[in-house]
């Protein structure tokens, strides 16, 4: 359960291809969730960092044409993503 703030990142796949995504959460446990629907419908993949942050990765996966959304969510309810470093 992620009680902290989240950010939504949209990207478009113009050519069907394999895509991998890495989240580097430097100082907080975080999760990232890949959807093909803006309102959080149809979750395709989930990856989480460790308790102290670190790296979470979606292994290469084939994505068809379309819009996709990655929600990055912080595990803690304190603070906000503005002061939680991730790339």
Q: Is the pLDDT of residue 79 over 90?
A: no
Locate 50 and state its tokens.
Answer: 């460790």
Say how many CA atoms lie within 13 Å of 85 toward its Cβ: 4
The CA angle 72-67-53, to the nearest 5 degrees, is: 15
pTM: 0.79
Identify the pLDDT of residue 18: 96
- Choice between 31 and 82, residue whose per-residue pLDDT is larger: 31
54: buried, middle or exposed (CB in 10 Å: 19+, 13-18, 0-12)? Answer: middle
For residue 87, how many other CB atoms are within 10 A of its CB?
7
User: For residue 13, what are the β-bridge partners?
Assistant: 66
53-67 per-position pLDDT tens digit = 889 999 999 999 999
- Choice between 11 and 51, residue whose per-residue pLDDT is larger: 11
17-66 per-position pLDDT tens digit = 999 999 987 777 888 999 987 666 789 999 998 888 889 999 999 999 99
């Amino acid at each position: 359960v992620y009680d902290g703030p989240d950010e939504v990142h949209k990207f478009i796949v113009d050519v069907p291809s394999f895509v991998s995504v890495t989240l580097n959460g430097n100082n907080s446990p975080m999760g990232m969730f890949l959807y093909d629907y803006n309102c959080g419908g149809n979750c395709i993949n989930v990856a989480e960092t460790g308790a102290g942050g670190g790296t979470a990765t979606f292994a290469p996966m084939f994505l068809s044409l379309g819009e996709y959304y990655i929600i990055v969510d912080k595990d803690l309810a304190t603070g906000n993503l503005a002061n939680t470093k991730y790339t």
